Amino acid sequence: MITEKIQKEIIDNFNMLDDDIEMSLNYLMELGEGLEPMDEDLRVDDNIIKGCQSKVWLTHTFVDDKLHFLGDSNTAITKGLLSLLISVFNNRTPEEILDSKLFFINETGLCRFIGTQRSNGLEAMENKFKLIALNALKNG
Per the DSSP assignment, residues forming a β-bridge with 61 are 68
Range of the domain at 39: 2-139
Please give the radius of gyration of the chain, using alpha carbons only, rounded to the nearest integer.
14
How long a stretch of residues is the chain? 140
- Please give the tally of structural domains in the chain: 1
Establish whether 52 is a catalytic residue: yes
Q: By three-state DSSP, how is residue 79 classified?
A: helix
CATH number of the domain residue 61 falls in: 3.90.1010.10
Among the listed residues 52, 70, 85, 86, the single catalytic one is 52
Distance CA 140, CA 137 (A): 5
- Which range has the worst mean pLDDT, 49-58, 67-76, 104-113? 104-113
Q: By three-state DSSP, how is residue 75 classified?
A: coil
Assess contact for 75 and 64: CB atoms under 8 A: no
Q: What is the mean pLDDT of residues 76-105?
A: 95
Residues 6+ apart with CB under 8 A from 1: 96, 99, 100
Tell me the pLDDT tens digit for each residue of 65-74. Answer: 999 999 999 9
From residue 107, alpha-carbon distances to 13, 30, 48 in Å are 11, 20, 28
Residues 6+ apart with CB under 8 A from 47: 57, 58, 59
Does residue 102 have a pLDDT over 70? yes
Tell me the pLDDT tens digit for each residue of 7-39. Answer: 999 999 999 998 788 899 999 999 999 999 999
